[in-house]
Structure 1
Amino acid sequence: MDSTLIKTLLESQERAYKSAMDTVVKQMNDRIMKLESTVSDLTTSLQFSQREIDDLKSTSKELGKEKQFIQVKMDQQAAVMNSSKSEIVNLGERYSPVRGTSRPRNETLTVGPGLTQGGAGVAAEDGGARLPAAAAATATRVVAGAHAGGGEGDSDFPPLAKGAIRRSERTNKK
Structure 2
Amino acid sequence: MDLDAVKLLLEANLRAFQSAIDVVIDQLKGRIQITEGIITDLIKSLEFSQSEIVDLKNQVKVLQNSNTEKQVEINSLKATIVELEQRVNYQEDY
Give the structure-2-normalised TM-score.
Answer: 0.87
Q: What is the number of equivalent residue pairs in this alignment? A: 94
In structure 1, stretches of 5+ residues that fail to align are 95-174
Q: After the TM superposition, which residues 1-174 of structure 1 pair with which residues of structure 2 at under 5 Å, given as runs?
A: 1-94=1-94
Report the Cα distance in structure 1 between the residues aligned to 2:84 and 2:17, rounded to whole angstroms: 98
Q: Which has the higher strand share?
A: 1
Where structure 2 has 5 or more consecutive residues not aligned to the other structure, the ranges are: none
* Larger CA Rg, structure 1 vs 2: 1
SS in 2 for 1:14: helix
Question: Which consecutive aligned stretches of 4+ in structure 1 deviate over 6 angstroms post-superposition?
Answer: none
Identity among equivalent positions (%) equals 35
Measured on the aligned residues, the alpha-carbon RMSD in Å equals 1.4
Q: Relative contact order (alpha carbons < 8 A, sep ≥ 6): 1 or 2 greater?
A: 1
* Letter of the structure 2 residue corresponding to residue 12 of structure 1: A
How far apart, CA to CA, are the structure 2 residues paired with 1:24 and 1:58? 51
> How far has the Cα of 1:80 moved from its partner?
0.8
Q: Residue type of the partner of 1:40?
A: T
Q: Which has the higher helix share?
A: 2
Provide the rounded CA distance (Å) in 2 between the counterparts of 1:90 and 1:12: 115
